[in-house]
Amino acid sequence: MKVCLYDTTLRDGNQDRKISLSLADKLQIARLLDFFKIDYIEGGWPNPGNPTDEEFFRKVKELKLGHAKIAAFGSTRRPFMTPDQDPLMRALVDSEAPVKTIFGKSWDLHVTEVIRTTLEENLDMIESSVAYLKEFSQEVIFDAEHFFDGYKANPTYALDTLRSAQLGGADYIVLCDTNGGALPWEVESIFENVRKEITTKLGVHVHNDCGLGVSNSLFAVQGGAMMVQGVINGYGERCGNANLTTIAANLHFKMNAELACANSMAELRKLSLAIDQIVNLPSDVRAPYVGDAAFAHKGGAHIDGVMKVARSFEHVNPHSIGNDRIFVTSDQAGGSLIVEKLKQIKPGIDKKDPLVAELLTTIKQKENAGWHFDSAEASFKMLVYRKLGLFHEPFEILNYRVIEDKNIQGMSVSQASVKLRIKGEVSHQVSEGDGPVNALDAALRKALLPYFPFMKMVRLDDFKVRVLGSNVGSDAMVRVWTTFGDENEQWNVAGVSANIIEASWLALVDGLSYKIHKEIKSTDKKDSQKRAP
């Protein structure tokens, strides 16, 4: 059973009331989804009133994605005009996205009472819109909006809308539970009925208003769906969309579905946490598979059972999705997974090594203080490098300062000064910026660039701040999460402090130090190879 995964985090997920994705956010998420091998990434709805999405479709071409197909989203043409006359249809074409996904009405109530046209005109809107977009696309996907409600109200007409999409040449027809009110056995039964009438490949898109988004998606697959649409971590309007994170894991581990991302499953937790960071929302500790508590054992009998035979109390191996078990009462958390990570940095390290125990204690203390190393891999590596003596500080921090002032025009101006000792020399630099963090970043790079020329290629791609814990006053602890990148890769670092400037500084220093360490290590390796006989 082959199933393709279609992610709509950048569009439907962005309709969550707590989420507002920037262009940089969207591009970063697209890169992560492609790396995980999600099959389709819906980038948004390109139209003149949505400049961020229009720019996304221009910029995403520069990412050179290796697996995912980019889809642009829109609607069928408006009533009583041809597709080429509709500016929203033309905007879809202008996006040059290889895949176009359009929704159309399949519930007669919506046809007559919402868009207020005739049932016959709606059928022509669907067929003509799909046919028009086929001329400019590798694939066209038709989302039959409100299909399950429409089918229950008027099955004949609901099926007619699908036939219209099929006549237009749709590559997939996706049955949508837009109101999220269907039940799993209804979904499966309706899919089986539709398969008898429609030969085009079917997909499913459901919302979570009854808490059944995942269940309905799986029952749809059981009924014949070959595409599942959803959102990573289940963000979205109202109660959210079907959680694609949980769906992917269930399809792989429980239903033995053939997924392109099967070999990426060990990265599932990392993907989930990284996207939580980008959208700046706290991760759900009870999230199936990927949550902090997903494999947490507190009862003594449970812990005893897991330690003897892990599968006696765990439905899958937590390492298979990049998670780890936690023994709450014994105060041991994440030990085995961290040891595996340590072996990647220092092959042959023994878990009985006193340094390992010391590292585990340090990591736990830092995570209790607010660090989150699962989504800040570079910070984890820097901590380990320092503890294991594998890292030599490339510079010494003598002083840094940030001044906020107003110029003669009354505008706020941020100025930062940085004093470092680098290779025995003192570098004292001053820079202005759009805010204190930007000024600090500029001053730090200015000081480092003469000694490390590759620093000019390093970008600060993302910067997020989150208040930690229940104390949300001005004295609260904050975590700064940043993403750096260059022409080859991206890396994430974090900084935690009650002082937001200090937290930002810690993240900036670690992010740039990580790059310096990698470059020096790479240069040393090349020199060693040259000297080899």
The Cα–Cα gap between 138 and 396 comes to: 55
> Would you place residue 365 in the very low, low, confident or very high pLDDT band (cuts 50, 70, 90)?
confident
Q: Would you say residue 196 lies in a domain?
A: yes
Q: Would you say residue 205 lies in a domain?
A: yes
With beta carbons less than 8 A apart as the criterion, state whether 183 and 220 touch: no
Q: What are the CB-based long-range contacts (under 8 Å, 24+) for 336-339?
A: 338/363
Measured distance between the N- and C-terminal CA atoms of the chain, rounded to whole angstroms: 53
Q: Would you say residue 264 lies in a domain?
A: yes
Query: Domain total for the chain?
Result: 1
Q: Would you say residue 221 lies in a domain?
A: yes
Q: What is the mean pLDDT of residues 235-244?
A: 96
SS3 479: strand
The Cα–Cα gap between 324 and 306 comes to: 12
Output 41 or 340, whichever has higher pLDDT.
41
Q: Would you say residue 498 lies in a domain?
A: no
pLDDT at 102 over 70: yes
> Would you place residue 469 in the very low, low, confident or very high pLDDT band (cuts 50, 70, 90)?
low
The CATH number assigned to the domain holding 199 equals 3.20.20.70
Cα–Cα separations (whole angstroms), residue 172 to 162, 179, 252, 399, 507: 10, 21, 22, 60, 45
- CA-based angle 323:507:334, to the nearest 5? 20
> Would you place residue 527 in the very low, low, confident or very high pLDDT band (cuts 50, 70, 90)?
low
Cα–Cα separations (whole angstroms), residue 418 to 130, 164, 403, 427: 58, 65, 12, 8
pLDDT at 342 over 90: no
| pLDDT value of residue 531 | 57
Sheet holding 412-422, edge to edge: 396-406, 412-422, 425-433
| pLDDT value of residue 117 | 95
Which tokens sit at 371?
Answer: 């660090």
Q: Which residues of 16-37 are buried (b: 16+ CB within 10 A; e: fewer)?
A: beebebebebbbbbbbbbbbbb
pLDDT digits (tens, 9 = 90+) for 507-518: 999 999 999 998
- CA-based angle 84:86:92, to the nearest 5? 80
pLDDT digits (tens, 9 = 90+) for 152-177: 999 999 999 999 999 999 999 999 99
Percent residues over pLDDT 70 in the chain: 93
Q: What is the mean pLDDT of residues 91-103?
A: 96
What is the span of the domain harbouring residue 18? 4-279
pLDDT at 327 over 90: no
Side chain identity at 424, as an amino acid letter?
A: G
| pLDDT value of residue 363 | 83
Q: What is the mean pLDDT of residues 242-254?
A: 98
Output 525 or 56, whichever has higher pLDDT.
56
Rg (CA), the chain: 26
pLDDT digits (tens, 9 = 90+) for 108-134: 999 999 999 999 999 999 999 999 999
DSSP 140-182: EEEEEETHHHHHHH-HHHHHHHHHHHHHHT-SEEEEEETTS--
Q: Would you say residue 211 lies in a domain?
A: yes
Percent residues over pLDDT 90 in the chain: 65
pLDDT at 194 over 70: yes
Mean pLDDT of the chain: 89
Which tokens sit at 5?
Answer: 């995964």
Phi (first) and psi of residue 324, to 5 degrees:
-150, 155
The Cα–Cα gap between 387 and 406 comes to: 43
SS3 515: helix
Q: Would you say residue 176 lies in a domain?
A: yes
| pLDDT value of residue 331 | 42
| pLDDT value of residue 303 | 65
| pLDDT value of residue 302 | 66
Q: Would you say residue 12 lies in a domain?
A: yes
| pLDDT value of residue 475 | 58
pLDDT digits (tens, 9 = 90+) for 85-95: 999 999 999 99
pLDDT at 240 over 60: yes
CA 140 to chain centre: 24
| pLDDT value of residue 333 | 45
pLDDT digits (tens, 9 = 90+) for 366-404: 888 888 887 788 898 898 888 888 888 899 999 999 998
